[in-house]
Amino acid sequence: MRLIYLLIPIFFVANISFSTGQDNLVFKKLPERLELSKMAVRSVLQDSHGFLWFGTIDGLVRYDGYDNKIYRNNPYDSTSIAENQIKWITEDEMGYLWFVNTNGTLNKFDPLTEKFQKINFSSIHKVN
């Protein structure tokens, strides 16, 4: 049993392929050009199109398997991300990404238009 605990980290560090019945699993390191080592990653999501999304302390990063794109706040663009520090990310059934910044702002991202919508909680009324 101790041998299994010793081998598990090796599968995640090396580029190793093994068979589990019908599926072949391949573990590979992400390329250095992704530059996530310079950013503290707080959340990770693989969306329905296969893109990897990383919520970092310095923006939202999309990785398509070849290149990455970083979305950061632009104070002069109301359709940019609300804040650069991302707490968590999720995807809904329509393909929109939802995430929360560390300041508590809820954001909706449309991957087709690449526009962000900030959800204002003060406009949401409680039902009594």
Q: What is the residue type of 95?
A: G
> What is the reported pTM?
0.67
Measured on CA atoms in the order 34, 48, 100, 71, is the torsion positive or negative?
positive
pLDDT digits (tens, 9 = 90+) for 13-64: 444 444 445 556 555 555 555 566 567 888 999 999 999 999 998 889 998 8
DSSP annotation of 113 reads T
Contacts of 34 (CB under 8 A, 6+ apart): 61, 63, 68
Helical segments of 1-128, H only: 2-13
Is-contact 54 60, C-beta < 8 A? Answer: yes
